[in-house]
Structure 1
Amino acid sequence: MDVRKVPATAGAEWLLGGFMLLRRSPGGFGLLALSYAALWLTVNGLAQAVPALLAPLQLTFFLIGPLLLAGMIFAAREVDEGRSAAPAHLLAALRTGKAARLVSTVLPQLALMVLCAILLFVVVGAEHIENLLKLFTKLQAQAESQIPVDPSEFANIPFGRLFVWMLLVFGVGLAAFLFTFTLVPDMLFTDTRLVQGMARCFRVCSANLGALVVFLVLGFVVVMAIGFGFVLFSQIAMLIAGQTGLLLANAAFNGLMTVFASGVMYFAWKQLLGDGSPAPQSPSASTGIEV
């Protein structure tokens, strides 16, 4: 594979492309976000109603996550090519016969979680972890009983070790990002398999670190801005409907961010590994909501 290089400004174009897609088909992507939010709410509702189902439900949602993301990425390409986004696109991985290979993309995530857990035990230590778990359980019980928290409870927390662990996790996460950023769209739109896709992603990402830095910095700003808006929205929702309103606001935020991320990943893949066209600089003319 010839390594394709893009200018550093491409990182900003990927984010812009995600916003442009939302503007071109707000109705279609809105339905996709609502579908994701409804599924998220269903999983959380069932887990709260039947606690014994918590682990199986979380595992199921974890496994189908790449399929939902692939469906939204498929919808992003449809809108980019002048068609419409629709909830049926969530089944794109099944309809294209690539569900199994896309589910395999959870393996790098599992490896990352295992590595972070190992680092936690190595850096923080088993004894400190056990004490932290006991403290968390105690604080949770006090919160439910509305008992004031004693500040001395935090005296033995190894903040220094936890900070070092978080720095290591951040570094490991950035390294994993180089292997997985374009993985899902590459496996969806081509015949690429997991190991080959990770290798392709690493080669093209490591050759375009400037664009990735711009993307990560601007992406952090965008996420913080959207997150701040949703904090205000969630507070209003909680005042109106209590915990139910907060749950609905969180579901909406998850749905919106997943839809937006799918568009960004599509444009990044398109420039780095696809046909190489740049992300759109302005929205196409539209006469209304496209569904």
Structure 2
Amino acid sequence: MGDIRKVPASAGAEWLLAGFGLLKRAPLALGSLGILWGVGTSLVLSLSLLVPALGTLVQLLLLLAGPLFMGGLLWAVREVDQDRQARPSHLLEGVREGRAPHLLVALLPQLVAALLLGTLLLVLVGTDGLQRLSEVMLRINELSQSGAQPDPGQIEALVATLPAGRILLWLLLMLAAFAALTLALFVMPPQVMFQRIGGWHALRRSLRSSLRNLPAMLVFFVLAFIAIFAIYFAVMILAVIVGLVAGQTVAMAVAQLLLMAVLMPVFAGAVYAAWKQMLGPAGAVPPPAAGGHVLEA
């Protein structure tokens, strides 16, 4: 694997803890970057609602902005890690010094996967199957909105008309494609931002490093799922309280911004920690702990 370092499975827990640790060191600075990202997204989506003709253009802009903002957030995370101050202008680091085209390479595998999955859906299910699936989903939605208790026999009869085996196969293929994309993209942005590696080369190195350290990746994503659920639950409790005072619209807006303020910096910090351990310059980070104190923490 050359310059790709092997880390223990417990490193996945270290990455998540590092993400929370970096946010704890600069909660306002990093949290405000997540909020700026969320506010910008909300404003652009609001524009698409006000001017429906711009809907496609707006979606394209949001798609292009994602990798660029992630690159900027990673830059801000490194500033905090090196005891410097994170600033709002760091969100634009992804478009400086020619990094933008390489960061946008991350969108191409997603586009290819979407086209491939769409083609497979047509081949496996067919237009008739898709139409039947739409009719079944519409019927189930009508039953759920009627207020009456759905008849299990009626639901079973509706589902029995679908090509369930082929739909399940397509769902499994979609999960496999999602897993492959996640492994290929996980530590791709920090390579572009900090090592000035080209987009395609960074994708290949990210995939190889993720596969070589698959146990650590699995540990990280399992713990990240648990953490996301806990954070979401806490934010929803706060949203209920805000809703009682200011209304549901304000409560949902506050909940969305809080989630962005916490989840995005934590994820960026975890990706940064993973990159330092697996691909970063030698000596930039101490070796992963071999004991059990990380999981114990």
Pairing of 1:76-155 with structure 2 (within 5 A): 76-134=77-135, 148=147, 151=150, 152=154, 155=157
Structure 1 residues 141 and 155: CA distance shift in structure 2, 3 A: closer
TM-score, scaled relative to structure 1: 0.84
Which of 196, 202, 205 aligns to 2:201? It is 196
Aligned to 2:226: 221
Q: Which runs of 5+ in 1 are unaligned?
A: 282-291
RMSD over aligned Cα atoms? 2.9
Q: Residue type matched to 1:116 in 2?
A: L
Aligned to 1:156: 158
Q: Secondary structure at the match of 1:170?
A: helix
Question: 1: CA distance between counterparts of 2:149 and 2:60?
Answer: 36
Q: Secondary structure at the match of 2:85?
A: coil
TM-score, scaled relative to structure 2: 0.83
Question: 2: CA distance between counterparts of 1:67 and 1:219?
Answer: 23
C-alpha deviation, 1:226, in angstroms: 1.6
Q: Residue type matched to 1:44 in 2?
A: L
Write out per-residue CA displacement over residues 7-28 of structure 1, whole angstroms, 9 at most, x where no aligned residue.
1111111101100000000110
Contact 1:69 1:262 in 2 (8 A): yes
Q: Secondary structure at the match of 1:156?
A: helix
Which of 267, 278, 281 aligns to 1:275? It is 281
Pairing of 1:1-291 with structure 2 (within 5 A): 1-134=2-135, 148=147, 151=150, 152=154, 155-157=157-159, 158=162, 161-239=166-244, 240-276=246-282, 277-278=285-286
Structure 1 residues 108 and 237: CA distance shift in structure 2, 3 A: farther
C-alpha deviation, 1:120, in angstroms: 2.7
Aligned to 2:294: none
Q: Secondary structure at the match of 2:86?
A: coil
Q: Kindly, what percent of the aligned residue pairs are identical?
A: 35
Write out per-residue CA displacement over residues 100-128 of structure 1, whole angstroms, 9 at most, x where no aligned residue.
22122211121222233233333433222
C-alpha deviation, 1:52, in angstroms: 2.2
